[in-house]
Amino acid sequence: MDKHTSGNKATEMGVINALFFFSLLTFSNGQISSNIGICYGQLGNNLLSPYQSIEFINSMKAGRVKIYDANPEVLKLLAGTGLHVSIMVPNNEISNIASNQTLANQWVRNNVVPHYPQTMIRFLLVGNEVLSYSSDQDRENWFNLVPAMRRIRASLKSLNIRNIKVGTPLAMDVLQSSFPPSNGMFRSDVSERVMVPLLHFLNVTKSFFFLDVYPYFPWSADPNHISLDYALSRGTRFTYTDPGSGLRYTNLLDQMLDSVIFAMTKLGYPNVQLSIAETGWPHAGDIDQPGANIYNAAIYNRNLVRKMTANPPVGTPARPGMDIPTFLFSLYDENRKSGPETERHWGLLHPNGSPVYEVDLTGKREESEYDSLPVPRNNRPYKGKIWCVVARGTNVMELGAPLIHACSQGNGTCDALVPGKECYEPIMVTWHASYAFSSYWAQFRSQGATCSFNGLAVQTTRDPSRGSCKFPSVTL
């Protein structure tokens, strides 16, 4: 009897010890790594090795990492790190996988099986922003998306792999309307044929609606009407009440997330979980891109991290308490990204691994505990003229092709450069290219053209005109 009793006590103690140990473990996990993930994009030619990069991701205490492929070197290095990993099927493999189960099986066998479970692959994303591309061929891909997801999922299931969620990241342009949030609605060209089957798949498989969501973009498109604090999730001074739902918003991110919730609800899927596959704020940009600075980037990301690591989870006005797995974009500044200057400045780290600004990914650090940030100087949109000229240090040999390209666009773009005309002299490639870039950009900026020319061009507020040669400009 005694023995029995003491035996029971021992068991009880064992259980208590185990519970205590377990709670220590979960507690220390909470301390060690965060619920926050980092997007590890590699579109740079000056980035540290995957080995060093993963060291940085670990030392930043990220809990997850998302890559844009299934690079075997990276996946091998991630084994045993404890990081939860999100991998991706490239867009150009979707149509084959959609049409052939053997190819789906091969993809999983080649890219998942060699690494799983040592590498904790948890999300398998099929494509990247597939519904944002709209050439005829891209449109075909829209309708291959869900079939490809089903096949990948079937492959995983046949291998008895049950803890990898299959999803696909979509951008906010999948919505036809997002304001007010209660008016959120998917685009009519994808709503019935793509979104309904997608939501059905996500609901049945208890996967996530992965969303790339950037308050920076709507704010920077309309900085005079949207409060910057509201876009940065800072303070509650400015609020917005949705007349349709009566819900009160204190920040633009919640508003954008809820517009997707309302759109899903309209199609009959109110309970699909959300994950933020990308968000962030650029820390540098061009003259015509207000608000891209270190100050705003740090404030946005810190506020985001604090919100998404809160325990219990905060959620959104439409989904209070919802836990939203979140990935910050991006680990590095990536110098090989095209488009406006901001595109190359989303990094938490410089290419050499030094932080652009501090951000505690555990979300424990209060704003007052950080060092002070550089004062933002471009929060108000620039007003005046801008020209687009050859960047300093450009190799003249590289200017020929973009010069010809710029001159071949538009109406009389380079008329002033022909012999005898006002900008012909000095006869220098740099001079002619600067004129051509300015003239091209002045005609096409309103249609979305950027002053970039693969990094060979920069914006300037200093008028390059000389004598009778007047450079066309963009007026903001």
Ligand X SMILES: *[C@@H]1O[C@H](CO)[C@@H](O)[C@H](O)[C@H]1NC(C)=O
Catalytic sites, residue numbers: 129, 278
How many residues does this entry show for the chain?
476
- The closest alpha carbon to 125, from 92, 152, 99, belongs to 152
> Quick one: 353 or 410, whose CB is closer to ligand X?
410
The structure tokens listed for 53 are 């990069």
Can you say how many angstroms the Cα of residue 413 is from the centroid of all Cα atoms in its chain? 35
> Quick one: 34 or 439, whose CB is closer to ligand X?
439
> Quick one: 103 or 373, whose CB is closer to ligand X?
103
The structure tokens listed for 211 are 């969303």
Taking CA atoms, 186 is separated from 189, 190, 193, 262, 277, in Å, by 9, 7, 11, 10, 18
Contact 345/294 with Cβ under 8 angstroms?
no
Interface residue list for ligand X (CB under 6 A): 100, 102-103, 203, 268-269, 410-411, 443
d(CA 267, CA 209): 14
> Quick one: 321 or 420, whose CB is closer to ligand X?
321
> Quick one: 191 or 430, whose CB is closer to ligand X?
191
> Quick one: 102 or 241, whose CB is closer to ligand X?
102
Q: Please report the DSSP string for 111-127 in residue order.
A: HTTTTTTTSEEEEEEES
The structure tokens listed for 6 are 């003491």
Contact 74/366 with Cβ under 8 angstroms?
no
- Minimum Å gap between C-beta 210 and ligand X is 17
Number of CB atoms found within 10 A of residue 435's CB:
30
- Minimum Å gap between C-beta 102 and ligand X is 4
- Minimum Å gap between C-beta 107 and ligand X is 11
Instruction: Using CA atoms of 97, 101, 102, 105 in order, give the dihedral in degrees to the nearest 10.
Output: 80
d(CA 387, CA 403): 15
Burial 82-98 (b: 16+ CB within 10 A, else e): ebbbbbbbebebbbebb
User: Is 166 strand, coil or helix?
Assistant: strand
- Minimum Å gap between C-beta 451 and ligand X is 17
Contact 83/66 with Cβ under 8 angstroms?
no
Taking 3-state DSSP, the helix, strand and coil percentages for the chain, each rounded to the nearest 5, stand at 40, 15, 45
d(CA 60, CA 301): 14
User: Is 461 strand, coil or helix?
Assistant: coil
- Minimum Å gap between C-beta 449 and ligand X is 11
What φ, ψ does residue 75 adopt, rounded to 5°?
A: -65, -35
The label of the residue with tokens 């997801």 reads 149
The structure tokens listed for 432 are 């002619």
The structure tokens listed for 236 are 């509650």
Taking CA atoms, 431 is separated from 390, 404, 452, 464, in Å, by 8, 14, 16, 9
In what helix (H) or strand (E) does residue 55 lie, and over which residues does it extend? helix 50-59
- Minimum Å gap between C-beta 159 and ligand X is 18
d(CA 38, CA 331): 6
> Quick one: 91 or 203, whose CB is closer to ligand X?
203
> Quick one: 34 or 443, whose CB is closer to ligand X?
443
The structure tokens listed for 226 are 């949207």
- Minimum Å gap between C-beta 98 and ligand X is 12
- The closest alpha carbon to 473, from 434, 447, 418, belongs to 434
> Quick one: 132 or 203, whose CB is closer to ligand X?
203
